[in-house]
Amino acid sequence: MNVPEVNSLTPLIAAGCYTLLLITPFFRRSRQEKQTQWLFAFIVLSIIWEFLKYFEPGIAYPNLSLKALLVGTALIGVTTAVYVDWPHQQRWLLLGGSAILATILVDIFSPNQTLSLPQTNLPPITYGTLMSYLTWFGLSGFILAKTWRNYRGTSFPWHANRLLYWFMALLLTFAGEALIFTDLLVLDILGQGIRLMGVVGLAYAVSSYRIFDVRTRSQRALAFVIISSISVLPLIGAILVVQAIVGNLTLAIALLTAVVVTLGFFLYQPFRNFVERATYHYLLGESVNPSKVVRDYSQAISRTLDVQQLSLLIVGTLSELLETNRGALMLVTKLNDGDYQIEPVPAMGRISREKAILSHDSLLINTLAEQRQPLLQYEIDFNPDYSGITEAERTWLKEQAMEAYVPVSAGAELAGLIAIGPKNSAVPYQPGELELVQILADQTVVALQNARLYSELGDQNEKIRHLNVDLVEQNERLEIMDEVKSDFITIASHELRTPLTQVKGYADILSAMNEENALTREQTREIVGHINRATLQLESLITAMLDASQLDVDGLQLTFVKTRLDTVLRLAMEPLIQAMRERRISLRLDGIEELPPIQADFKRLVQSFTNIIGNAVKYTPDHGNITVEGQIVPSRDKEDEYVEIVVTDTGIGIDRQFQELIFEKFFRIGDPQLHSTGSTKFKGAGPGLGLPIAKGVIEAHGGRIWVDSEGEDEERLPGSRFHIILPVQPPGAELADNLEAASRAAYLIG
């Protein structure tokens, strides 16, 4: 077959190569779906172009193959726009489509008009053909120029390398097309090969983000050419000398011999490397450079102080080298009783973190510690020397599903294990590979010890930090409570002295007026009323103190009955209604009537809500608002129901540091020297027992109480929200069949 016949078949051969490229794993591995689709369309169009080029003599429409090539150029432009991430990518489609449409219109309206270049031997060319060539030159030049500009404007080296690789692949593709345009036999074949190389390069770039260093590879290739060229010069000189001495060798034969030898120098080393790589890959597995692996690994682990990161680094390195499909670092700790605890730290694959305990005489642990060599699961299963491994250990090993266990030894003690699973290729581990893994394990000893020590120190520091925080909080709390105890004497004496003074004063008045026989019935009634109010106030204070003391001794004794919360809240508000009217404080109930009846101690619950709402009244300025909201709250297991009552006021708020302390006995906010007795007036303070009793009653019902507030501010008035959670059926409550107890009159409330 001569050269013209080969050249005529070149389009079909190229189409076959592009078809093979479509079915390669390139596109199946690619995650860049958009740019892959555009490149796929470009390769399909390249196949069509090659077929049109082959059958062009029999096609009536002129320049049809050129039009297919222009469409392919537009597609490679769109692929470049997506790959390089050009802005306004749709404009490229508009530009390319318009240019191609213009060439088609020229072919339609001027199919036979030709242009001849004077004083040249070039054949005449039609306007449509010339327009197609110019359009191709403009589109390809624009793509190359813009890609080069993006490359020059990128500051990150690896980003720039990616663009440089793409530019070179584009350059090969367009250069091959330019050579094909010449219609010269040799250049046509050469152009097809160069274009195919460029398209393969584009496919690789789209399918993989790992692009080799183009500049470094180029420098090495140039160095290879220079070295090979210089190395072949002595042989060429020797051939010429022999030709001169012998004399019967023609100059052409000598030069041909020199060229062949030169090509041999150029091709020998790449060919040998290719054969070597193929042999190692398909017969022995991929070869590695142990010294480089160990050096890189040692540098990497020296910067790792986290056990989990160390496990990921170890198994990740082995996965890259040996293509393992699972792996873990297993920490080995010797317990006080001599047994060993193994804690897996998974890195790849689904591996349980459950710790295992192996006995002190475990054959598995002792063998790994003594031999310091990798142990294969195959050896454990079939070597009679390991028949002493217990069934429990075998079950645990089976659950791990590992192929080999590599010891990480620190002296005579075993610090850990590197467990690696089978290879993805299902090829057994070779002795050289296991030896390399053991070398890496030996390099891991210090890093593992440092990581475990760092982890333990971190845990201890975290515990100490939490203890310090708790200690500081407790000290602050104790200081505050110490002040509260000191202030209690002042507050209690004031709270007790005030009603006693009233009783004594009115008793003295009553005695003096009685001696003078100056008392009338109305005066007696008025004085006795004052004395009764003072004694009731004194009785209320003593009752509160007794209730508070029960919280510490044996808890409150509760009597559970079916209770409606709307009734509880109405009775709780009754003692406060007059004060709220005087101070123009509005109170609104929302959602309370929809709440279901609950099992509760009716009397104690009224007492608690009276204290909570009374606290809201005291710390809400005149003309303020108080809202009591209720809702049903399901439990996490959705078996028990709870009700939530939220008491919201527009008062002065509560400082965050006091939001827990207000539920402590005798605690009150403010200076005790400014204490003033008053149950409902603004900022009137009692002995500090209302909220602690409310908390004790609610918790005795199996509920919770807490407060939310942005802080204390008498000008901004952020307010407070008291949350009360009560179970519908408290633990130990007896069911009641009627609501009688919940409907008792207010005078029955003690």
Q: Looking at the predicted structure, is the pLDDT value of residue 50 above 80?
A: yes
Instruction: Give buried/exposed letters for 640-657 (b at 16+ CB in 10 A, else e).
Output: eebbbbbbbbbbbbbeee
Q: Which residue has the higher pLDDT, 292 or 691?
A: 691
Q: Which residue has the higher pLDDT, 125 or 341?
A: 341
Q: Looking at the predicted structure, is the pLDDT value of residue 26 above 60?
A: no
Q: Looking at the predicted structure, is the pLDDT value of residue 240 above 80?
A: no
CB-neighbour burial class of residue 519 (10 A; exposed 0-12, middle 13-18, buried 19+): middle
Residues 6+ away with beta carbon under 8 Å from 615: 690, 691, 722
Range of lowest pLDDT (98-102, 147-151, 408-412): 408-412
Predicted confidence band at 3 (pLDDT cuts at 50, 70, 90)? low
Q: State mean pLDDT over 110-134.
A: 70
Q: Are 583 and 616 in contact (CB under 8 A)?
A: no
Q: State mean pLDDT over 200-218.
A: 78
CA–CA gap between residue 374 and residue 383 (Å, rounded): 14
pLDDT at 707: 93
Predicted confidence band at 544 (pLDDT cuts at 50, 70, 90)? low
pLDDT per position as a tens digit, 455-514: 777 778 778 888 888 788 777 767 766 666 655 656 666 666 677 777 778 777 777 777
pLDDT at 743: 46
Q: Which residue has the higher pLDDT, 561 or 547?
A: 561
- Range(s) of the chain covered by CATH 3.30.565.10: 556-748
Range of lowest pLDDT (153-162, 208-217, 740-749): 740-749
pLDDT at 456: 76
Half-sphere exposure of 456 (CA within 13 A, CB side): 6
Q: Which residue has the higher pLDDT, 86 or 479?
A: 86
Paired residues of 721 in beta bridges: 648, 708
Closest CA to 79 of 37, 48, 121: 37
Q: State mean pLDDT over 606-625.
A: 91
Q: Looking at the predicted structure, is the pLDDT value of residue 735 above 50?
A: no
pLDDT at 729: 87
Mean per-residue pLDDT of the chain: 78
Range of lowest pLDDT (217-221, 575-579, 613-617, 735-739): 735-739
Residues 6+ away with beta carbon under 8 Å from 319: 325, 327, 348
CA–CA gap between residue 583 and residue 340 (Å, rounded): 74
Q: Looking at the predicted structure, is the pLDDT value of residue 120 above 60?
A: no
Please give the structure tokens belonging to residue 81: 């726009």
Class of domain 290-449: alpha beta
Range of lowest pLDDT (129-143, 319-333, 535-549, 663-677): 663-677
Q: Are 381 and 393 in contact (CB under 8 A)?
A: no
Q: Looking at the predicted structure, is the pLDDT value of residue 281 above 70?
A: no
Q: Looking at the predicted structure, is the pLDDT value of residue 283 above 50?
A: no
Q: Looking at the predicted structure, is the pLDDT value of residue 745 above 70?
A: no
Q: State mean pLDDT over 246-272.
A: 64
pLDDT per position as a tens digit, 60-75: 666 788 888 888 888 8
Q: State mean pLDDT over 43-65.
A: 80
Q: Specify the amino acid at residue 218.
A: S
Q: Are 42 and 71 in contact (CB under 8 A)?
A: no
pLDDT at 233: 64
Residues 6+ away with beta carbon under 8 Å from 545: 687, 689
Range of lowest pLDDT (96-110, 150-164, 673-687): 673-687
Q: Looking at the predicted structure, is the pLDDT value of residue 740 above 60?
A: no
Closest CA to 662 of 700, 703, 708: 708
Q: State mean pLDDT over 566-576.
A: 92
CA–CA gap between residue 577 and residue 571 (Å, rounded): 10
pLDDT at 392: 87
In the 8-state DSSP scheme, what is residue 706?
Answer: E
Number of H helices and E strands in the chain, helices first, is 21, 15
Residues 6+ away with beta carbon under 8 Å from 366: none
pLDDT at 385: 82
- This prediction has a pTM of 0.41
pLDDT at 626: 94
pLDDT at 396: 87
Paired residues of 330 in beta bridges: 344, 417
Range of lowest pLDDT (10-24, 290-304, 600-614, 644-658): 290-304
Q: What percent of the chain has pLDDT over 70?
A: 73
pLDDT at 123: 62
CATH 1.25.40 correct for 3-212: no
Helix (H) or strand (E) holding 632: strand 625-634
Predicted confidence band at 738 (pLDDT cuts at 50, 70, 90)? very low
pLDDT at 243: 61
CA–CA gap between residue 107 and residue 583 (Å, rounded): 96
- Range(s) of the chain covered by CATH 1.20.1070: 3-212
Range of lowest pLDDT (245-259, 385-399, 447-461): 245-259
When mean pLDDT is compared over 225-229, 245-249, 374-378, 391-395, the highest value belongs to 391-395
Q: State mean pLDDT over 374-382.
A: 79
Q: State mean pLDDT over 667-689.
A: 62
Please give the structure tokens belonging to residue 707: 């407060």
CA–CA gap between residue 173 and residue 79 (Å, rounded): 14
Question: 556-748 is classed in which CATH architecture?
Answer: 2-Layer Sandwich (3.30)
- Range(s) of the chain covered by CATH 3.30.450.40: 290-449
